[in-house]
A and B are shown apart, each in its own frame.
Chain A
Amino acid sequence: MPARPRSPLDPPLSFRAVRAVFLTLLAGFVLLPVYVMVTSSLKPLADVAGRFRWIPGGLTIRPYIDIWHTVPLATYFLNSLIVAGAATVCSVVIAVFAAYAVSRYRFRGKRLFTVTVLSTQMFPGILFLLPLFLIFVNIGNSTGVALYGSRGGLILAYLTFSLPFSIWMLIGYFDSVPRDLDEAATVDGCGPIGALLRVVLPAAVPGIVAVAVYAFMTAWGEVLFASVMTNDTTRTLSIGLQGYSTQNDVYWNQIMAASLVVSIPVVAGFLLLQKYLVAGLTAGAVK
């Protein structure tokens, strides 16, 4: 330890050295797949089929054109967008009302409700997959409502993880919005719903954005339900990307190009909104 007192803004050399080494290695670890994804997506097929090369032998944008024909990527993209978007909107809207009730009112069964919501988050997805699959198949057989294989069924299935998470995060977030605000709004003549919509919601925007971003990302990347609950027309990206491997060839350059294309919207959105996510986590979960 140095004898002279140091302020945190003036860290000693040992600290800065360790920090530099650690952060560089970590950044390298994080970047490695990103580098592979970007460079391989620009290589010709012969290049990705042979021994790996750090520097691409020749650059081509051909994979970015071919990805749309090899598999119906646009359809999968649209399916993912519809399913993830609808699951996000549904869970956020329903969760807003539920979380407002829990945060602002005392009522019988409140504890039971919060504990149930919390505990469902720890349940493995596989636990719900089997019964939901059978429920959907049986509903289809008895009523003709085709949930199995439909986007609607997948949206419902995605609510199993996005709804409890949204409710739980939003309870924490609404609690951090001072009650005086909605009381003042009530005095001003707003009803409870008016107070929620006009005062609490605007104050809780970061929390809502955080929840929405999280719900969307999770649904966008989900594989388990999508692998069972979709068919040829409703297949989402998470399963559709497997189509680039055929019996004879694996189009690695196209797989990488498609991976990049489907990643860019979520990564960009996430990085843009990350400050909300940190704020939302701080208020809602971490405290």
Chain B
Amino acid sequence: MTSAPTAMPSDTGPDAGADAQAGAGAAPRPPRAAVRVRRTGRMRPTGRLRRTALPYLLLLPALLLELFIHLVPMVMGILMSFRELTQFFIRDWSRAPWTGLRNYELAVDVNRPVGEALLGSFLTTCLFTLLSVGLCWLLGTAAAVFTQESFRGRGFLRALFLVPYALPVYAAVITWVFMFQRDNGLVNHVLHDQLGLGGAEHTFWLIGDNSFWALLTVSVWKGWPFAFLVVTAALQNIPGDLYEAAALDGAGVWQQIRRITLPSLGAVNQVLVLVLFLWTFNDFNTPFVLFGKAAPEAADLISVHIYQSSFVTWNFGTGSAMSVLLLLFLLLVTAGYLLVTTRGRRHDDAC
């Protein structure tokens, strides 16, 4: 999971006052001195200069690093995508011949193998992301709602549900690889030997068309606890008297969930779904550990596809063009999504 859970600007306007009530475990200490007098005197010129320069000084390390790890690589990636960059030019990439838009033409030409494979991988990734995000959201929300109220064993369950999220990806996914083994795996043992489903012949799960479902299972198993964590955190902010008032008015528990719990998740859901989308769409770790360097066609996610085009067939130019196209697609989707979800809402950004 290379992409991190993010927060969207519309939901976290740096609005100090409103945030303060949210910091559940962060009861801030009272100031040591009870003096709360603002400094009113005019600042001395040197102090003023220091004040203007200070934020930049504080930012300096972050800026330098951002430059080196994000900006330069990105510019370079774009430049690389216009070049015929094969293994012969790795030692000095600037000598690779300039080819203009040829890499892009190659990537989008669906009548030729490279473009056709990329389109296939893209469509697979779209379908996979749709299903995975939907299921993760559904399971996470349901589990959070069901564990909102206290009952015996709730603390244990909550901790247990976070285990897939906490396990290192490769350790968890490699266990699934073992479970999906054709002859000595648990899945076939249960399905074929114990339940008698699907005939006596054991199914292949990690090659062929079934690999899509294997990948989806692992992805949901790994991803839903994040939705659970976020929704659980959000549920803690719903005031209890809302439920009490609803109960007094005669609303049953299902009605309370439908009328109070779910509607108050609106803003959180928007962030959550976007984060899950970006995370799933960009996921490399899960398919890579599950299938290795070359994923089966039915489960060929775009990240692995680009990795393979670049590091296995050693064509960095085409790989870069594919990366840039992927980025453009993600930017478009994110911008569109933010536009739709934040329309009509006050954009309280203090910057």
Binding site for B on A (CB under 8 A): 1-3, 5-9, 11-12, 14-15, 19, 22-23, 26-27, 29-34, 36-37, 40, 48-52, 94-95, 97-98, 100-103, 105, 107, 110-111, 113-132, 134-135, 137-138, 141, 156-157, 159-165, 167-169, 171-173, 175-181, 183-188, 192, 199, 202-207, 214, 217-218, 220-224, 227-228, 237-238, 241, 252, 255-256, 259-260, 262-263, 266-267, 270-271, 274-279, 281-287
Contacts of A162 in B (CB 8 A): 4
B266 at the interface (CB under 8 A from A): no
B221 sits at the interface (CB 8 A): yes
Q: Does B111 contact A (CB under 8 A)?
A: no
Q: B158 to chain A: closest CB distance in Å?
A: 8
A-B contact count (CB 8 A): 433
**How far is the CB of A83 from the nearest CB of chain B, in Å?**
13
Interchain CB contact under 8 A, B323 and A127:
yes
Q: Which residues of B contact A129 (CB under 8 A)?
A: 307, 310
- 18 further contact pairs, Cβ within 8 A, besides A101-B55, A186-B39: A23-B147, A26-B143, A27-B161, A37-B175, A107-B56, A120-B70, A124-B284, A127-B74, A130-B310, A131-B76, A134-B93, A159-B69, A165-B4, A176-B26, A181-B29, A217-B166, A223-B285, A279-B26
CB–CB A31/B59 < 8 A: no
Shortest CB-to-CB span from A107 to chain B, Å, is 4
* Given A107-B55, A192-B54, A286:B233 Cβ within 8 A: yes
Nearest chain A CB to B291's CB is how many angstroms away? 12
* Chain B residues with a Cβ closer than 8 Å to the other chain, count: 138
A286 contact from B147, B179, B234, B306, Cβ within 8 A: B234
Kindly list chain A residues whose C-beta atoms are within 8 Å of the C-beta of B136: none
Tell me, rounded to whole Å, the shortest Cβ–Cβ distance linking B159 to chain A. Answer: 5
A266 to B189, CA, bound (A): 31
Whether A206 pairs with B243 at a CB distance below 8 angstroms is: no
Write out the residue numbers on chain A whose beta carbons fall within 8 Å of the beta carbon of B230.
281, 285-286
Residues of B within 8 A of A227 (CB): 288
Q: Which residue of B lies closest to A164 (CB)?
A: B4
